[in-house]
């Protein structure tokens, strides 16, 4: 039995996403019996995700995926960047949340949660666009009853402001195994540019036995907060400066 566990995470799920690419993803996941974590945007206003005509039964469809064993996370609110704040993780120079007041962030997150709830989808998992959040985001999420964040660049899970943060080091397919619990972030709409689909197919074939659902994945040990913080800074520095210029 392998020590490693992988979680597949699909971002940017919204009514106007690229449905052809997403359907390919579902077919592949079904073939390997994989139940991913999917990041649903409550009220998408990102023009980059306005790809296909709006799916009118979107929320029904999401509920069907939940029944199938997929786990839903709330992914941002509108998926639109409002500030140039890097937030805690610091991988991106733009954010939907970081830098805004606590009250403003609370309102946005509350509204997002309400939209999901009114459409019959409840979740206590969150991740922000571009890994960008600050202390106020985490405080507001905690106040609103969220418990899990799929984010951070440490090697181990972290416990912060009443939330459990499950790190998410790689942007896409991991080349090296960093940590024992590894989140693989997928953007099906990017498959039109380069064929990440084939890459994912090969990955699933190779790691089928190690890929778990969120319920199993979240049962991972929590690391030391200070140690995680230091590792996170090192990982982000490496990814920003060294990897980029190699
Ligand atoms: Zn996104």
* Predicted confidence (pLDDT) per residue in 51-85, tens digit: 999 999 999 999 999 999 999 999 999 999 999 98
Confidence (pLDDT) at 15: 98
For range 158-172, the mean pLDDT: 84
Q: How far, in Å, is the centroid of ligand 1 from the Cα of 11? A: 5
Q: How far, in Å, is the centroid of ligand 1 from the Cα of 243? A: 22
Could you tell me the two tokens for 16?
Answer: 């106007």
Q: How far, in Å, is the centroid of ligand 1 from the Cα of 122? A: 19
175-215 pLDDT per residue, tens: 777 788 999 999 999 888 777 899 999 999 999 999 999 99
For range 19-43, the mean pLDDT: 97
- 33 pLDDT tier (thresholds 50, 70, 90): very high
- Average pLDDT over the chain reads 91
pLDDT of 242 higher than 70:
no
Q: How far, in Å, is the centroid of ligand 1 from the Cα of 46? A: 9
Residue of 5, 8, 51, 18 whose CA lies nearest to 191: 18
List the chain domain ranges: 5-242
Q: What is the CA radius of gyration of the chain?
A: 17
Q: How far, in Å, is the centroid of ligand 1 from the Cα of 110? A: 18
pTM of this structure: 0.92
What share of the chain in percent tops pLDDT 90? 69
CATH topology of domain 5-242: TIM Barrel (3.20.20)
């Amino acid at each position: 039995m392998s020590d490693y566990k992988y979680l597949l995470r699909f971002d940017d799920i919204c009514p106007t996403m690229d449905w052809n690419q997403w359907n390919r993803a579902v077919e592949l996941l079904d073939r390997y019996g994989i139940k991913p974590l999917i990041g649903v945007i409550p009220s998408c206003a990102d023009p980059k995700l306005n790809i296909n005509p709006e799916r009118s039964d979107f929320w029904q469809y999401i509920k069907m995926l939940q029944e199938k064993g997929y786990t839903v996370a709330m992914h941002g609110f509108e998926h639109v960047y409002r500030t140039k704040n890097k937030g805690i993780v610091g991988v991106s120079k733009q954010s939907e949340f970081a830098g805004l007041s606590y009250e403003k962030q609370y309102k946005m997150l509350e509204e997002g949660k309400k939209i999901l709830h009114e459409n019959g989808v409840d979740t206590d998992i969150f991740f922000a666009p571009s890994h960008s959040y600050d202390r106020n985001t985490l405080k507001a999420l905690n106040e609103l009853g969220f418990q899990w964040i799929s984010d951070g660049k440490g090697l181990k899970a972290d416990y912060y402001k009443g939330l459990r943060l499950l790190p998410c080091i790689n942007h896409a397919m991991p080349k090296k195994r960093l940590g024992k619990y590894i989140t693989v972030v997928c953007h099906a709409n990017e498959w039109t540019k380069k064929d990440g689909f084939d890459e994912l197919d090969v990955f699933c074939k190779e790691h089928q036995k190690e890929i778990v659902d969120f319920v199993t994945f979240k049962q991972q040990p929590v690391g030391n907060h200070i140690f995680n913080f230091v590792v996170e800074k090192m990982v982000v520095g490496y990814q920003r400066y060294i990897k980029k210029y190699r």
